[in-house]
Amino acid sequence: MRVEPVRALRGELTVPGDKSISHRAVLLGALAEGRTEITGFLPGVDCLSTIACLRRLGVAIEQEGSRVTVHGAGWYALREPEDVLDVGNSGTTIRLLAGVLATQPFHSVLVGDASIARRPMRRVTAPLRAMGAHIDGRADGEYTPLAIRGGPLRAIHHVSPVASAQVKSALLLAGLQADGETAVTEPQRSRDHTERMLRAFGAELTLCGTTVRVRGGQRLTGQRVEVPGDISSAAFFLVAAALVPGSDLVVRGVGLNPTRTGILDVLKAMGAEVEVEETGEACGEPVGNVRVRHAPLAATAIGGDLIPRLIDELPVIAVLATQAEGVTVIRDAQELRVKETDRIATVVAELSKMGARIEATPDGMIIHGPTPLVGARCDSHGDHRIGMALAVAGLIADGPTEIARAEAVAVSFPDFFDRLRTVAK
Ligand code: SPQ
């Protein structure tokens, strides 16, 4: 993909449905009793992997673009799959499904692509084993393929060393069928879409500080789910508008869950003009419009509790920081090293090719700005968020930027480049 510099980004747009919420909507729909009707579903490759795995487990699902109907027949209507369950590139699919399969009295095998094969799984397999599930995988349950034989589980209180919504969600799902009350404590709060959606499907959960508790033996009932736009997808446009002089852009209908809006805090802290209008709620999730206008940018410090609220936005925040006056320091973000790629290494390598003054640290990045960027031959490394972050960098570079393996954007944002063309002036 070739990206040329633009004069400004102006107008309005919507972005596809939230990836995290789309996964959870089909998954809970599959486990619930009755029909679940989903609108605004993200037909990205990752969420289609979740649908494919659920179909293999015997769930009837109709999908046409962003409309999905799931015919849930209850938690124990899943049946032993005849072949392996392939999660493709999706960490959310494998970790949440591991939690569900731990409750099922049959054998299943989870596999994924080369990136999934490198991502850590013991963070879910160890506590699920402690609950009584039989799980094996390479390096003692750390890597795929994961072979799972589930069954009756006992509740545990798991204190997670990482703030991870995938770990928390896997254990809450398993806990829904365990004997007793399962509790998960995190060092900081991670995104809470699972908790919000479980409540919408009729389950009871309690939250105290960073501990969530769920009682076993609860049933879910099919619902109507309206998925809001994905703020992580909107982030590429919001950052682009903040970067390109003369820009004035509105993203409509985007999810504003406070566990996801760290990007808005960073844009404001760096000096961009940001207006947020909350317009309503869908399935327990706040929704609204966000307007961003370009303004001179200043460096900021990013770390601590803010990190889980913007973890997936850090690649594009690094691009933003290249144009901010001063030194931006990102720390406490070591989780970036175990995403689709090592996002600290890939961001530093690719932005350096464009002339950025950026260095890697064990848990983040240090970025000096403002530094003019130059068009270069870059590579997404097969990571959707790296591909889109590089496209945003290309909008402000001198000369064209070529992005190899740009098709990776389809994991979370299939028509990213088309939508970019509609607002680029
Ligand atoms: O699903 P996957 O591959 O893990 O996707 C990513 C992404 O950039 O889209 C991370 F690589 O998002 C995760 C996110 O980082 C999605 C997610 C969720 O839906 O629960 C939670 C976060 O991961 P984690 O490891 O902190 O739980």
Please tell me the predicted confidence (pLDDT) of residue 388.
Answer: 98
CATH class of 19-214: alpha beta
DSSP letter for 229, please.
B
Question: Measured from the CA of 162, which atom of ligand 1 is nearest?
Answer: 26
Ligand 1 binding pocket (C-beta < 6 A) is 19-20, 46, 90-92, 164-166, 169, 190-191, 311-312, 335, 339-340, 385, 412
CA dist 179 and 231 (Å) reads: 37
Residue nearest to atom 13 of ligand 1 (CA): 92
Query: Per-residue pLDDT for 321 more than 90?
Result: yes
Q: Whose CA is nearest to atom 15 of ligand 1?
A: 312
| Cα 371 to middle of ligand 1, angstroms | 30
Q: Ligand 1 atom closest to Cα of 90?
A: 3
- Res 283: pLDDT: 84
The secondary structure of 296-323 as a DSSP string is --B--EE-GGGGGGTGGGHHHHHHHHTT
Q: Which atom of ligand 1 is nearest to the CA of 168?
A: 27
Mutate which of 53, 89, 194, 312 to test ligand 1's pocket (most atoms within 8 Å of Cβ)? 312
CB 364 within 8 A of CB 344: yes
What mean pLDDT is predicted for residues 25-39? Answer: 98
Residue ranges per domain, the chain? 2-16+228-423, 19-214
User: Residue 116: which of 138, 86, 84, 90 has the closest Cα?
Assistant: 90
Q: Read off φ and ψ for residue 17, nearest 5 degrees.
A: -60, 155
Domains 2-16+228-423 and 19-214 share a fold: yes
Alpha-carbon gap, residue 20 to 194, rounded angstroms = 9
In this predicted structure, the answer to whether residue 97 has a pLDDT above a threshold of 90 is: yes
Mean pLDDT of 224-229: 98
Verify whether residue 305 is a known catalytic residue: no
Q: What percent of the chain has pLDDT over 70?
A: 100
350-368 pLDDT per residue, tens? 999 999 999 999 999 999 9
| CATH dotted code for 2-16+228-423 | 3.65.10.10
